[in-house]
Amino acid sequence: MEGFKQFLLRGNVVDMAVGIVIGAAFGTVVTSFVKDLLTPLLAATIHAPDFSRIAFELNGSKLLIGEFVNAFVSFLIIAAAVYFAVVLPVNALVARTSRQPPAVPTTKKCPECISDIPIQAKKCAFCTSTLPA
């Protein structure tokens, strides 16, 4: 039981749980924004009483186009928010922390035979030419 307690109290699990709860709440807010504010605004522009109820029938099946558009717009808003609020900052942070100084060269080219030789060599091992200092 002690190991399970340590697992639950570890930072990553708690952070993930908080993120899921906040994400669900944010999803609810965005869905409400789309359904209660954006959809009526779009309905007013196309002179439909309720945009979410726009549908048509095909062989006895009712296709709810308005509900699909609501869900799609909600998805786009949530995806954009996650991208700009989470993905871009994390990518920038990772790029900033993973910068490594350029590697110090350990070899150089022989001016005579163009072979790779150690940087401290005074003679080429391939053509035996004397190298400039």
pLDDT digits 0-9 by tens, 67-126: 888 888 888 888 888 888 888 888 888 888 777 777 888 999 998 899 999 989 989 988
Q: Are residues 26 and 87 in the same domain?
A: yes
Structural domain of residue 110, as residue ranges? 103-133
Q: Are residues 111 and 61 in the same domain?
A: no
Q: Are residues 19 and 82 in the same domain?
A: yes
Q: Are residues 84 and 133 in the same domain?
A: no
Between 51 and 1, residue with greater pLDDT: 1
Q: Are residues 68 and 124 in the same domain?
A: no
d(CA 116, CA 110): 6
pTM for the whole thing? 0.53
Please give the tally of structural domains in the chain.
Answer: 2
Q: How many residues does the chain have?
A: 133
pLDDT at 9 over 70: no
* Strand partners for 116: 109
